[in-house]
């Protein structure tokens, strides 16, 4: 067995694919088809897993989004911030995207509170089904 064959056999045993066994280059970091290095994943600063920071505050963009797109008032968001911080500081769990986690928490709690207030309606089921308050003040045009 030649030295080249032994090197190739070692590479195959190490898990190297056969298409990478190349006599021209011992170290072949480029992609065999495109002839360039595969891009390495970029780690962004916010991608680190960490516990909720003690001084966590929602970003202005999150507050604006919750108000504009979900119709959630600031006082409701403020009460949710307190609950959110108390819970996550107590658990000590580490996460990646605290801003997004807070946004999701507020939306969930807002929808939950809205559905609970709707269920507490004083109307009976029959009254709800026969409610015609939606047509108050509606007038048909007279086409005579």
Q: What is the pLDDT of residues 44-94, one digit of tens each?
A: 564 689 999 999 999 999 999 999 999 999 999 999 999 999 999 999 999
Comparing CA positions, the residue from 40, 58, 136 lying closest to residue 104 is 58
pTM for this structure?
A: 0.52
**Rg for the chain (alpha carbons), in Å?**
31
pLDDT tens digit sequence for 20-44: 766 544 554 555 555 555 566 665 5
Comparing CA positions, the residue from 113, 55, 52, 51 lying closest to residue 79 is 113
Angle between helices 74-91 and 60-70 (to 10 degrees): 130
Show Cβ contacts of residue 22 under 8 Å, excluding neighbours closer than 6 positions.
28
Q: Give the domain ranges of the chain.
A: 1-31, 51-119
d(CA 75, CA 73): 6
d(CA 41, CA 44): 9
The residues that bridge with 37 in the sheet, in sequence order, are 30
pLDDT band at 139 (very low <50, low <70, confident <90, very high): confident
Tokens of 34: 């495109």
């Amino acid at each position: 067995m030649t030295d080249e064959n032994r090197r190739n056999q070692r590479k195959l045993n190490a898990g190297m694919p056969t298409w990478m066994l190349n006599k021209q280059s011992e170290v072949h970091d480029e992609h065999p088809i495109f002839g360039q290095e595969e891009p390495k994943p970029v780690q962004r600063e916010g991608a680190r897993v960490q516990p909720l920071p003690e001084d966590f505050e929602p970003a202005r963009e999150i507050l604006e989004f919750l108000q504009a797109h979900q119709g959630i008032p600031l006082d409701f968001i403020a009460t949710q911030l307190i609950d959110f911080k108390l819970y996550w500081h107590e658990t000590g769990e580490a996460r990646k995207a605290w801003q997004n986690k807070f946004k999701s928490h507020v939306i969930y709690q807002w929808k939950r509170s809205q559905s609970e207030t709707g269920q507490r309606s004083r109307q009976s089921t029959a009254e709800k089904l026969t409610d015609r308050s939606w047509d108050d003040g509606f007038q048909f045009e007279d086409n005579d």
